[in-house]
Amino acid sequence: MNLRHILWPDVDTGLWNDWRWQYKNRLKGAEGLFKLSTLLQKDLSHLSHVIKTYRWASTPYYISLIQDKNLLQDPIGRQIIPSPHEIQKQSYPQLSLDPLKERLYSPVPGLIHRYKDRVVLLASGICASYCRHCNRKRTWKKPEHLSLTKHALNKVKAYLDANPEIREVIISGGDPLLLPFKSIKRVLSVMRSIPTIEVIRIGTRVPVVLPMRITDRLCRLLHKNRPIWINTHFNHPREVTKEASGAIEKIQLAGIPVSNQTVLLKGINDNHDVLKSLFCKLQSIMVRPYYLFQCDQVCGTLHFWVPLSKGIEIMESMWGDTGGMCIPNFVADLPEGYGKARLLPSQILDMEDGKEAIFFTYDKKIVKIHL
């Protein structure tokens, strides 16, 4: 099945590779669902109810990566096609729209300050493609909105000026690389005007869902504002396409290292072979797998949860079987705002300083070592 030829048969390569065309022609809302259902001859009307609660949009490029007609069986389709499970009344009383208590840790609008030396800046309220597993679904309640106002950005600056222990700003959202060029430039230059901010980190899924957005002009702007690190979000090896790798290479050629955060998702990547293939492919395009996240306990994402023990088993089996450069930290962001916790247990079973320690080896032997 080639969805590009079914859904956009007459679009030439020039337009297809133009990010503005891709953005303008996103399938979105009830209208987009209707178009998808007509062209695929599938009844998707039951989903219009879901998208009244959680908005829906995705780019032609990303939709065209779907290969399975059964959209929710496909690892790409499952990430973007709404599911009735999202709005089912769930029997987990702890489910919240904001389990990480990001609003509680927000000293000024748009800023999350949980750890002493780094903050998250929610600079954008839009994404090219809305991931059904997103942990900020709470911000989708309003219509799509662009960015922090100048006034809000000034308040953020005042807070950062007053708190010099903060050395890193993680610009996130939404997707900050979807803001108008001028707004990206403004956010970067305000951050750069604060002498205590040493490093800027940008969280973006653009290289995965709208790789055409990585233009030469954008790369020049990023280059000028280094040190910048980019963290992107690949979840499946099929996302590592020629287009995505090309976008990554452009960022790297601008002198910016790229790392990746993956979310462990049921029916998408919750097995050893898929994750190994994803992490090795990322390493081969010089993207460092940084975190594998246990899916947060956020309302509307229950159907993606993988038991903790399964994730640990997969990651343990990867150790020794895969190069260390390909293996991310497996972490959970604990509910109630307790922060991130590393999940893989230590391989030390017992130890006495100056005498000996008992280790559990990568291939499951138990050895006693004198240290």
The catalytic site residues sit at 114-115, 118, 127, 131, 134, 136, 296, 333, 340
CB of 174 to ligand SF4, least distance (A): 6
> Does 118 contact ligand PLP by CB under 6 A?
yes
Among 121, 134, 200, 219, binds ligand SF4 (CB under 6 A): 134
Does 298 bind ligand PLP (CB under 6 A)? Our answer is no
* Partner that binds at residue 114, options ligand PLP, ligand SF4, none, CB closer than 5 to 8 Å by kind: ligand PLP
Are the C-beta atoms of 134 and 122 separated by less than 8 Å?
A: no
Neighbouring CB atoms inside 10 A of 180's CB total: 10
* Site for ligand SF4 contains 175 (CB under 6 A): yes
Does position 55 bind ligand PLP by CB under 6 A?
no
- The answer to whether the Cα torsion of 34, 40, 42, 44 is positive or negative is negative
Binding segment toward ligand PLP, per CB under 6 A, in 27-35, 87-95, 115-123, 355-363: 115-123
Q: Out of ligand PLP, ligand SF4, none, which partner does residue 115 contact, by CB within 5 to 8 A per kind?
A: ligand PLP
Task: Give the integer Cα–Cα distance in Å for 172 and 165.
Answer: 20
Interacting positions 232-261 with ligand SF4 (CB under 6 A):
233
**Least spacing, CB of residue 228 vs ligand SF4, in Å:** 18
Residues 6+ apart with CB under 8 A from 264: 270, 292, 293, 294, 295, 306, 311, 330
Q: Does 131 bind ligand SF4 (CB under 6 A)?
A: yes
127 binds ligand SF4 (CB under 6 A): yes
| Helix, strand, coil fractions of the chain, as percent rounded to 5 | 40, 20, 40
Closest CA to 100 of 268, 294, 305: 294
| Closest CB 225 distance from ligand SF4, rounded Å | 21
What phi, psi does 322 have (nearest 5°)?
A: -140, 145
Q: Which is nearer to ligand SF4, 19 or 130 (CB)?
A: 130
Phi, psi of 122 (to 5 degrees): -85, 90
The DSSP line for 82-149 is --GGGGSPPS-TT-BS-TT-TTTT-SSTTEEEEETTEEEEE-EE--SS--TT-TTGGGGSSPPEEE--
Which stretches of 175-289 are DSSP H helices? 181-192, 206-209, 216-224, 242-253, 272-284
151: buried, middle or exposed (CB in 10 Å: 19+, 13-18, 0-12)?
exposed
Q: Which of residues 217-236 bind ligand SF4 (CB under 6 A)?
A: 233
Which of 205, 247, 174 has the alpha carbon at shortest distance from 76? 205
State the residue number with the nearest CB to ligand PLP: 114
* Torsion sign, CA atoms 365, 350, 293, 234: negative
What is the rounded distance in angstroms from the CA atom of residue 273 to the CA atom of residue 102? 34
Distance from chain centroid for Cα 337: 19
# of chain residues touching ligand PLP (CB under 6 A): 7
Q: Is 340 in the site for ligand PLP (CB under 6 A)?
A: yes
Comparison of 120 and 202: residue with beta carbon closer to ligand PLP: 120
Contacting residue, 170, 190, 230, 240, with ligand PLP by CB under 6 A: 170
* Contact set for ligand SF4, span 85-104 (CB under 6 A): none
Task: With contacts defined by CB under 6 A, name the span among 27-35, 55-63, 115-123, 171-179 that binds ligand SF4.
Answer: 171-179
Among ligand SF4, ligand PLP, none, residue 130 binds (CB under 5-8 Å by kind) = ligand SF4
Write out the two tokens for 148: 């922090």
Peptide bond just before 227 cis, omega within 30 deg:
yes
Q: Which of 112/190 has CB closer to ligand PLP? A: 112
Residue closer to ligand PLP, measured from CB, 170 or 265: 170
Residues at the site binding ligand PLP, with contacts judged by CB under 6 A:
112, 114-115, 118, 120, 170, 340
Residues at the site binding ligand SF4, with contacts judged by CB under 6 A:
127, 130-131, 134, 136, 173-175, 205, 233
